[in-house]
């Protein structure tokens, strides 16, 4: 060790892959766990705007689910981003899933779970057969599928037949999906005129900003998550970061990283603030107070118009 300074614990831009640096989202994690362990698991659609933390949530769940469930051997959870080039065809999708399953330790330790993945060609039929075999072994595959949206760019590959097949596996309790997308799945169904019942029964989890406690946890990293460490930012720096980033996970990470960097480089805080403003502009603020106030205003105006109409009608009747 050359320095006693803590290294920068802030990551802005990519999903959080170090579970020790992941903050909050307790309710969402509990909900996914409870669906997974239910008698009839219901698949989950995690929806939210850009950089709100969908990928981080899915990845963190995949990393930690074994500590959350009573019998971890009964589940095999994998994480797969459908943005990968391989997932542009239906067979490519099944093969990518099979590869992730193959590398899972629970699968590696059980030949009965490895064998059905060896089938060649690994297509829809082979995938269904493999999932059936997992069911017979009492194992539930939980596929955390990130970036589901790009799938719809290939309608010739991912049509009603593909979705109906997934739906029947989900319905018979053979498979559970946790899918992240910018819009709800039924939005894509309408847009792409799909008829499959796949889009019907999902539990939607809308991801918003962090809670107050989680935002505090973030700005006091790594002390808040790693025992025996100290916060990377001073109290004053933490206050600045909270002022700039509010409770938005990405904006907080961005601000914290820049404030930390400014100190390391001996830069003024105004430099960090200017850099922050530049980067933050690329992220649309989630629907917050402003739009809800607009909604409220629209309702009040609508109500007033209705009321004046009623008064006018009553007055003309009286006249
Ligand atoms: N739970 C979290 N703990 C700490 N930081 C987080 C958390 N969630 C999100 N972040 C911060 O937000 C950034 C964006 O997160 P992530 O990539 O998961 O968002 P996303 O919703 O998947 O974005 P996109 O829609 O662009 O795919 C991360 O790089 C990180 O800085
Ligand atoms: Mg993402």
What pLDDT, in 10s, does the model give residues 104-161? 999 999 999 999 999 999 999 999 999 999 999 999 999 999 999 999 999 999 999 9
Say how many Å lie between the CA of residue 291 and the centre of ligand 1.
Answer: 23
CA of 146 from ligand 2 middle (Å) equals: 7
Q: Please say which residue of 155, 179, 206 terminates a domain.
A: 206
- Please tell me the predicted confidence (pLDDT) of residue 297: 61
Domain shared by 267 and 240, yes or no: yes
Q: Is the CB of 50 under 6 A from ligand 1?
A: yes
Q: Examine the domain organization and report whether 115 and 236 are in the same domain.
A: no
Residue 292 lies in a domain: no
Ligand nearest to the CA of 46: 1
Residue 11 beta carbon below 6 angstroms from any ligand 1 atom: yes
162 pocket-lining for ligand 1 (C-beta < 6 Å): no
Atom of ligand 1 nearest to the CA of 11: 31
Q: Flag whether 261 is in a domain.
A: yes
Q: Which ligand is nearest to the CA of 57?
A: 1
- Whether 248 is in the pocket of ligand 1, judged by its Cβ within 6 Å, is no
Instruction: Assess if residue 3 is contained within a domain.
Output: no
Domain end residue (candidates: 206, 228, 262):
206
Question: Do 225 and 170 fall into the same domain?
Answer: no
Examine the domain organization and report whether 75 and 106 are in the same domain: yes
| Cis before 289? omega within 30 | no
Q: Are residues 160 and 245 in the same domain?
A: no
> Ligand 2: distance of its center to the CA of 56 in Å?
7
Determine the pLDDT at residue 312.
Answer: 84
Q: What is the pLDDT of residue 310?
A: 80
Instruction: Tell how far the Cα of 169 is from the centroid of ligand 1, in angstroms.
Output: 30
**What's the pLDDT at 291?**
43
Pairwise CA distance, residues 84 & 92, whole Å: 10
Q: Are 109 and 69 within one domain?
A: yes
Determine if ligand 1 sits within 6 Å of the CB of residue 23.
Answer: yes
Query: Based on the domain organization, do 38 and 99 belong to the same domain?
Result: yes
Do 118 and 187 sit in the same domain of this protein?
yes
Assess whether 98 and 181 both reside in one domain. Answer: yes
Nearest protein CA to atom 31 of ligand 1, as residue:
12
Same domain? For 182 and 216 the reply is no
Range of the domain at 45: 25-206
CATH code of residue 43: 3.40.50.300
Q: Which atom of ligand 1 is nearest to the CA of 22?
A: 3
pLDDT tens for each residue of 186-221: 999 999 999 999 999 899 999 999 999 999 999 999
Cα 80 to ligand 1 centre (Å): 16
Residues with Cβ within 8 Å of residue 216, at least 6 apart in sequence: 224, 242
**Residue 6: predicted pLDDT:** 57
pTM for this model (two decimals): 0.88
Q: How far is CA 188 from CA 196, 234, 277, in A?
A: 12, 45, 33
Q: Is residue 58 located within the same domain as residue 192? A: yes
Q: Mean pLDDT in the chain?
A: 92
Using the mean position of ligand 1's atoms as its centre, give its distance from the Cα of residue 162 in Å: 29
Question: Residue 284: what pLDDT?
Answer: 65
**pLDDT under 70: residue ranges of the chain:** 1-6, 284-300
The CA 148 to ligand 2 mean position distance, Å, reads 10
* Residue 13 belongs to a domain: no
Residues 84 and 118 in one domain: yes
> Quick check: CB of 14 below 6 Å from ligand 1?
yes
pLDDT for res 306: 78
Total domains in the fold of the chain: 2
């Amino acid at each position: 060790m050359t320095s006693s300074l803590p290294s920068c614990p802030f990551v802005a831009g990519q999903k959080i892959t170090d579970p020790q640096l992941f903050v909050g989202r307790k309710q969402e994690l509990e909900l996914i766990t409870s669906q997974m362990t239910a008698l009839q698991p219901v698949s989950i659609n995690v929806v939210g705007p850009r950089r709100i933390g969908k990928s981080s949530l899915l990845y963190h769940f995949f990393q930690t689910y074994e500590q959350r469930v009573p019998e971890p051997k009964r589940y095999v959870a994998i994480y797969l981003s459908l943005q990968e080039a391989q997932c542009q065809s239906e067979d490519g999708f099944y093969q990518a899933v099979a590869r992730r399953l193959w590398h899972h330790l629970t699968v590696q330790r059980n030949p009965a779970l490895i064998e059905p993945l060896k089938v060649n060609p690994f297509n829809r039929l082979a995938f269904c057969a493999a999932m059936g075999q997992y069911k017979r072994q009492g194992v539930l595959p939980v596929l955390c599928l990130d970036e589901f949206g790009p799938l719809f760019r290939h309608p010739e590959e991912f049509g009603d037949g593909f979705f109906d097949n997934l739906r029947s596996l989900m319905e018979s309790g053979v498979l559970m999906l946790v899918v992240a997308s910018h819009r709800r799945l039924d939005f894509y169904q309408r847009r792409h005129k799909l008829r499959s019942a796949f889009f019907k029964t999902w539990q939607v989890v809308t991801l918003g900003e962090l809670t107050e406690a989680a935002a505090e946890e973030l700005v006091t990293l790594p002390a808040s998550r790693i025992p025996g460490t100290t916060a990377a930012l001073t109290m004053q720096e933490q206050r600045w970061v909270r002022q700039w980033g509010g409770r938005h996970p990405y904006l907080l990470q961005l601000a914290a990283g820049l404030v930390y960097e400014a100190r390391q480089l001996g830069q003024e805080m105004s430099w960090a603030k200017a850099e922050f403003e530049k980067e933050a502009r690329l992220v649309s603020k989630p629907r917050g107070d402003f739009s809800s106030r607009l909604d409220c205003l629209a309702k009040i105006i609508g109500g007033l118009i209705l009321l004046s109409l009623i008064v006018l009608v009553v007055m003309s009747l009286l006249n």
